[in-house]
């Protein structure tokens, strides 16, 4: 059983926590630290907001304040615990643009095997999607929850629809744009799910 520690602000990680608990296997979220949402723009002593008595196999951060994330990254480095902070910028953390764009990286245990860039297995009959199974998916649960909306569609219609359905369910902040690519978190979520279905269909040929 892999232990996950979560740091969030005012419930900012609750959707991901729920998804991990519902769709994960062999994972336990052993502690959740919920910090305040309304904080000064600059925090002189971020250590005042943290307890150091945590341990686990992986830390997930949904902290929005950069000073808090910087301090947490230092704590995780001291404890030699991997830290994932999706959608954030921090050199000491693993920072995929979205939870569903996390690659298969070493050292992330069962979480890394089950959550990240989606992977599907599909069953097709008469050019329609009759079955879909998630091999790996988004921690928000969207990869699983969109399946009923895809079943029964033609393969062509499914490929046209899956990105949109993933975006409807995505928990990411729609205002989170990458200034270099101009892409939003919702755009990325849609694209990785479309690619996952396309790859699953290609494996059937």
pLDDT digits (tens, 9 = 90+) for 42-92: 999 999 999 888 999 999 999 999 999 999 999 999 999 999 999 999 999
Cα 58 to Cα 168: distance, rounded to the nearest angstrom: 28
Domain boundaries, the chain: 2-95, 119-202
Distances (CA, A) of 165 to 17, 112, 143, 182: 21, 24, 9, 21
- Hey, what CATH class is 119-202 in? alpha beta
Q: What's the mean pLDDT in 159-172? A: 92
Cα 123 to Cα 133: distance, rounded to the nearest angstrom: 9
Mean residue pLDDT across the chain: 94
CATH fold for domain 2-95: Rossmann fold (3.40.50)
Global pTM reads 0.93
């Amino acid at each position: 059983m892999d232990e996950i520690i979560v740091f969030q602000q005012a419930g900012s990680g609750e959707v991901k926590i729920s998804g991990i608990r519902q769709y994960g296997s062999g994972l336990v979220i052993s502690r959740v630290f919920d910090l305040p949402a309304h904080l000064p723009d600059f925090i002189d002593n971020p250590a005042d907001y943290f307890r150091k008595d945590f341990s686990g196999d992986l830390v997930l951060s949904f902290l929005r304040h950069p000073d808090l994330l910087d301090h947490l990254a230092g704590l995780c480095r001291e404890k030699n615990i991997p830290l994932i902070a999706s959608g954030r910028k921090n050199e000491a953390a693993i920072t995929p643009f979205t939870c569903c764009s996390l690659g298969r990286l070493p050292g992330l245990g069962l979480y890394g095997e089950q959550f990240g860039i989606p992977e599907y297995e599909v069953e097709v009959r008469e050019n329609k999607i009759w079955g879909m199974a998630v091999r790996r998916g988004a921690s928000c649960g969207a990869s699983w929850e969109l399946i009923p909306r895809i079943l029964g569609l033609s393969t062509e219609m499914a490929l046209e629809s899956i990105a949109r359905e993933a975006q409807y369910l995505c928990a990411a902040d729609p205002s989170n744009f990458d200034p270099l690519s101009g892409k939003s978190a919702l755009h990325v979520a849609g694209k990785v799910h479309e690619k996952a279905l396309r790859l699953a269909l290609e494996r059937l040929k």
